[in-house]
Structure 1
Amino acid sequence: MDYSIKKASMVDLDVATDLFNQYRIFYRQQPDYEKCKAFIRERLKQGQSHIFLVYVADQAVGFVQLYELYHYIKLGKQWLLSDLFVDPNFRGNGLSVALIDRSKKWCNETGACGLMLETEKTNDIGNTLYPRCGFEYDGLHNYYYWWK
């Protein structure tokens, strides 16, 4: 399948918002286009995340969103692969792998030591995809959250 990947900017806000809203729905969240748009706008405006969009023909069909973190062992910058989504109608064509490969390239471009991610234990697609893309499962750590 022919595709292209583009780094999102403010001119891509509506396209990125639509995909982000679909992604959240995939994770059982209520749709809220306007809140998603405000969230993405602020991340892009503040340079707090970097989004890559994958296009098939002229249609954006997926994205990956990366946030900057720092690793205590590597003593360097790393990227959190926070969000990865491909429209269900375009899955199975290597687009998720292409977005991950673009994320790895972004690590090289920015001098980062690598990528980290977490996904739900029930995400069978992701839990199969990530090891195929060279990610190692870290079974030594538990991830905890505190929400206010």
Structure 2
Amino acid sequence: MNNTRKATINNLSQLAELFDQYRVFYHKDSDIPAAEIFLKERIEHKDSEIFVAESEGKLVGFVQLYPLFSSTRMKRYWLLNDLYVNENYRGKGFSKELIEESKELAKSTNAAGVLLETGKGNNIGNKLYPSCGFELYDSVNFYEWTNK
């Protein structure tokens, strides 16, 4: 069994490197100092919950969740916004364990559940999430407005 746990401020340096890899994977420019500042603010302000996966004393993956609220359910939801495992550690169960941490967070905070979005072309994610109990909703339209 792998080791997953809540991230702490002491993990910031390694976490920022992983977060930078994640951003580069999504075609963003590498910027480790900015990643460190961003994550430090999330942790210090308790804006998100971050869990990390560790192997042999090294951080190899993370999941970051942001709180949302449902007015109709009058409960919190958690948005699973970021999930990443270093390419050298994929296929070893780290993603599933990080998702399990996310589900435990939802249970422990009495949230309605965990929401996530992934691209239609993300073949790995589109197999992973249903295998972890997530249901695909194809009955809604997802819209976005961006402030350009």
TM range (shorter): over 0.9
The code of the aligned residue for 1:13 comes to L
Give the Cα separation in 2 of the matches to 1:58 and 1:73: 43
Deviation of 1:24 after TM superposition, in Å, equals: 0.7
**2:55: which partner in 1?**
56
Deviation of 1:113 after TM superposition, in Å, equals: 1.5
Q: Check if 1:84 corresponds to 2:93.
A: no
**1:117: which partner in 2?**
116
Deviation of 1:31 after TM superposition, in Å, equals: 0.8
TM-align CA RMSD: 1.1
Does the Cα contact within 8 Å between 1:3 and 1:57 map onto a contact in 2?
no
**1:25: which partner in 2?**
24
Q: Which runs of 5+ in 1 are unaligned?
A: none
Instruction: Provide TM-score, normalisation by structure 1.
Output: 0.94
**2:105: which partner in 1?**
106
Moved over 6 A (4+): none
Deviation of 1:73 after TM superposition, in Å, equals: 3.6
Deviation of 1:74 after TM superposition, in Å, equals: 2.5
Q: Check if 1:36 corresponds to 2:35.
A: yes
Give the Cα separation in 2 of the matches to 1:39 and 1:81: 17
- Report percent identity of matched pairs: 41
Q: Which runs of 5+ in 2 are unaligned?
A: none
Instruction: Provide TM-score, normalisation by structure 2.
Output: 0.94
Give the Cα separation in 2 of the matches to 1:113 and 1:71: 8
Give the Cα separation in 2 of the matches to 1:21 and 1:146: 25
Aligned residues: 147
What SS does the corresponding residue of 1:81 show, helix, strand or coil? strand
